[in-house]
Protein backbone atom coordinates (compact mmCIF):
# COMPACT_ATOMS: atom_id res chain seq x y z
CA UNK A 1 0.00 0.00 0.00
CA UNK A 2 1.24 3.47 -0.81
CA UNK A 3 0.05 6.26 1.48
CA UNK A 4 0.86 9.66 0.01
CA UNK A 5 2.81 10.58 -3.10
CA UNK A 6 6.09 8.74 -3.64
CA UNK A 7 7.66 11.72 -5.44
CA UNK A 8 7.05 14.07 -2.48
CA UNK A 9 6.28 12.22 0.77
CA UNK A 10 4.76 8.79 1.26
CA UNK A 11 4.85 5.66 3.35
CA UNK A 12 4.89 2.34 1.53
CA UNK A 13 3.73 -0.49 3.75
CA UNK A 14 2.80 -4.13 3.29
CA UNK A 15 1.31 -6.37 5.98
CA UNK A 16 2.73 -9.88 6.27
CA UNK A 17 0.18 -11.46 8.59
CA UNK A 18 1.99 -13.41 11.26
CA UNK A 19 -0.50 -14.66 13.85
CA UNK A 20 0.34 -13.47 17.35
CA UNK A 21 -1.52 -12.92 20.59
CA UNK A 22 -0.46 -9.28 20.93
CA UNK A 23 -1.94 -8.19 17.57
CA UNK A 24 1.42 -6.81 16.48
CA UNK A 25 1.61 -6.03 12.79
CA UNK A 26 4.55 -7.49 10.89
CA UNK A 27 5.47 -6.51 7.38
CA UNK A 28 7.67 -4.34 5.22
CA UNK A 29 7.85 -0.58 4.95
CA UNK A 30 9.79 2.48 3.94
CA UNK A 31 9.23 6.20 3.65
CA UNK A 32 9.53 7.94 0.31
CA UNK A 33 11.07 11.39 0.71
CA UNK A 34 11.30 13.30 -2.56
CA UNK A 35 11.35 10.03 -4.50
CA UNK A 36 14.17 8.56 -2.39
CA UNK A 37 13.52 5.61 -0.07
CA UNK A 38 14.25 5.98 3.63
CA UNK A 39 14.30 2.42 4.91
CA UNK A 40 14.42 -0.99 3.26
CA UNK A 41 11.09 -2.04 1.74
CA UNK A 42 12.56 -5.50 1.11
CA UNK A 43 13.38 -6.23 4.78
CA UNK A 44 10.84 -8.97 5.61
CA UNK A 45 8.76 -9.55 8.73
CA UNK A 46 9.55 -6.28 10.51
CA UNK A 47 7.43 -5.44 13.55
CA UNK A 48 5.84 -2.25 12.25
CA UNK A 49 4.56 -1.28 15.70
CA UNK A 50 8.09 -0.10 16.60
CA UNK A 51 7.90 2.49 13.84
CA UNK A 52 4.34 3.28 14.90
CA UNK A 53 5.64 4.35 18.32
CA UNK A 54 8.30 6.58 16.83
CA UNK A 55 5.89 8.27 14.43
CA UNK A 56 3.19 8.77 17.07
CA UNK A 57 5.81 10.36 19.33
CA UNK A 58 6.93 12.72 16.56
CA UNK A 59 3.35 13.77 15.88
CA UNK A 60 2.89 14.59 19.55
CA UNK A 61 6.14 16.60 19.63
CA UNK A 62 6.04 18.50 16.32
CA UNK A 63 5.84 21.79 18.20
CA UNK A 64 9.06 20.92 20.02
CA UNK A 65 11.21 20.20 16.95
CA UNK A 66 13.01 23.52 16.77
CA UNK A 67 16.06 24.79 18.63
CA UNK A 68 17.94 28.10 18.31
CA UNK A 69 21.25 26.26 17.91
CA UNK A 70 20.00 24.88 14.57
CA UNK A 71 18.95 28.25 13.13
CA UNK A 72 21.08 29.34 10.21
CA UNK A 73 22.47 25.85 9.58
CA UNK A 74 21.97 24.14 6.24
CA UNK A 75 20.24 20.76 6.29
CA UNK A 76 23.59 18.98 5.91
CA UNK A 77 25.14 21.10 8.70
CA UNK A 78 22.13 20.34 10.92
CA UNK A 79 22.49 16.63 10.20
CA UNK A 80 26.23 16.68 10.95
CA UNK A 81 25.71 18.69 14.16
CA UNK A 82 22.99 16.33 15.47
CA UNK A 83 25.03 13.28 14.47
CA UNK A 84 28.02 14.65 16.39
CA UNK A 85 26.22 15.60 19.60
CA UNK A 86 24.11 12.43 19.71
CA UNK A 87 26.28 9.69 18.24
CA UNK A 88 29.94 10.70 18.24
CA UNK A 89 32.54 10.76 20.97
CA UNK A 90 34.18 14.16 20.67
CA UNK A 91 35.69 14.15 24.14
CA UNK A 92 32.60 15.45 25.92
CA UNK A 93 32.09 14.79 29.62
CA UNK A 94 29.40 12.46 30.90
CA UNK A 95 27.44 15.53 31.99
CA UNK A 96 27.71 17.09 28.52
CA UNK A 97 26.66 13.80 26.93
CA UNK A 98 23.55 13.71 29.12
CA UNK A 99 22.79 17.37 28.44
CA UNK A 100 23.18 16.92 24.67
CA UNK A 101 20.97 13.85 24.71
CA UNK A 102 18.27 15.62 26.73
CA UNK A 103 18.33 18.66 24.44
CA UNK A 104 18.75 17.05 21.02
CA UNK A 105 17.44 13.49 21.02
CA UNK A 106 13.97 14.77 20.13
CA UNK A 107 15.33 15.46 16.61
CA UNK A 108 16.24 11.82 16.00
CA UNK A 109 13.72 10.43 13.54
CA UNK A 110 13.84 6.78 12.51
CA UNK A 111 17.40 5.84 13.46
CA UNK A 112 16.78 2.42 15.06
CA UNK A 113 13.05 3.01 14.46
CA UNK A 114 12.40 -0.56 13.39
CA UNK A 115 14.20 -3.19 11.35
CA UNK A 116 13.37 -1.40 8.08
CA UNK A 117 15.60 1.48 9.21
CA UNK A 118 18.58 -0.46 10.60
CA UNK A 119 21.06 0.80 8.00
CA UNK A 120 19.88 4.41 7.92
CA UNK A 121 20.21 7.48 10.10
CA UNK A 122 17.64 10.25 10.09
CA UNK A 123 16.66 13.48 11.81
CA UNK A 124 13.59 15.68 11.75
CA UNK A 125 13.01 19.33 12.60
CA UNK A 126 10.33 21.87 11.93
CA UNK A 127 10.74 25.11 10.07
CA UNK A 128 7.54 27.14 10.31
CA UNK A 129 4.74 25.15 8.71
CA UNK A 130 7.14 22.61 7.21
CA UNK A 131 8.95 19.53 8.40
CA UNK A 132 12.57 19.03 7.37
CA UNK A 133 13.59 15.40 6.95
CA UNK A 134 17.32 14.71 6.71
CA UNK A 135 18.77 11.24 6.31
CA UNK A 136 21.55 9.02 5.11
CA UNK A 137 20.34 5.92 3.39
CA UNK A 138 21.97 2.49 3.48
CA UNK A 139 24.42 3.63 0.76
CA UNK A 140 25.46 6.49 3.10
CA UNK A 141 24.06 9.11 0.70
CA UNK A 142 22.72 12.31 2.27
CA UNK A 143 19.21 13.49 1.43
CA UNK A 144 16.95 16.21 2.79
CA UNK A 145 13.53 17.55 1.95
CA UNK A 146 11.13 20.20 3.22
CA UNK A 147 7.69 18.64 3.57
CA UNK A 148 4.69 20.92 4.19
CA UNK A 149 2.79 19.96 7.35
CA UNK A 150 -0.35 19.70 5.20
CA UNK A 151 1.38 16.83 3.37
CA UNK A 152 3.27 15.26 6.28
CA UNK A 153 0.45 15.05 8.83
CA UNK A 154 -2.16 13.16 6.76
CA UNK A 155 0.41 10.61 5.55
CA UNK A 156 1.57 9.84 9.09
CA UNK A 157 -1.99 9.76 10.46
CA UNK A 158 -3.21 7.53 7.62
CA UNK A 159 -0.32 5.12 8.22
CA UNK A 160 -1.10 4.97 11.96
CA UNK A 161 -4.76 4.31 11.14
CA UNK A 162 -3.84 1.62 8.60
CA UNK A 163 -1.62 -0.06 11.20
CA UNK A 164 -4.38 0.06 13.80
CA UNK A 165 -6.89 -1.43 11.34
CA UNK A 166 -4.46 -4.18 10.34
CA UNK A 167 -3.82 -5.03 14.00
CA UNK A 168 -7.53 -5.29 14.76
CA UNK A 169 -7.89 -7.71 11.87
CA UNK A 170 -5.46 -10.23 13.34
CA UNK A 171 -6.92 -13.38 14.86
CA UNK A 172 -5.97 -14.26 18.42
List, for residues 135-150, the tens digit of each pLDDT value. Answer: 998 888 999 999 999 9
Q: What's the total number of domains in the chain? A: 1
Count other Cβ atoms within 10 Å, centred on residue 112. 12
Q: What is the pTM of this model?
A: 0.93
DSSP-derived secondary structure for 8-77: TEEEEEEE-----TT---EEEEEEEETTEEES-TT--SEEHHHHHHHHHHHHHTGGG---GGGTT--HHH
Task: State which residues form the domain around 47.
Answer: 2-168
Confidence tier at 21 by pLDDT (50, 70, 90) = confident
For position 171, what pLDDT does the model report? 56
Burial of 137 (0-12, 13-18, 19+ CB in 10 A): buried
Dihedral sign (CA 92, 69, 140, 106): positive
Kindly give the interhelix angle for 94-104 and 75-87, rounded to the nearest 10 degrees.
140
Q: What is the Cα 111 distance to its own chain's centre? A: 7
DSSP 8-class letter at 108? B
Distance from the first to the final alpha carbon of the chain: 24
Mean pLDDT on 55-72: 96
Confidence tier at 168 by pLDDT (50, 70, 90) = confident
Amino acid sequence: MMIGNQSSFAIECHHEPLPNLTRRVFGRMCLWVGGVALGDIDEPACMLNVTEGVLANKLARLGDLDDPSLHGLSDRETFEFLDRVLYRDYGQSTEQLAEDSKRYFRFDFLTNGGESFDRTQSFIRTEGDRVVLMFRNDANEFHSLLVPLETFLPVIRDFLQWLSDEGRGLAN
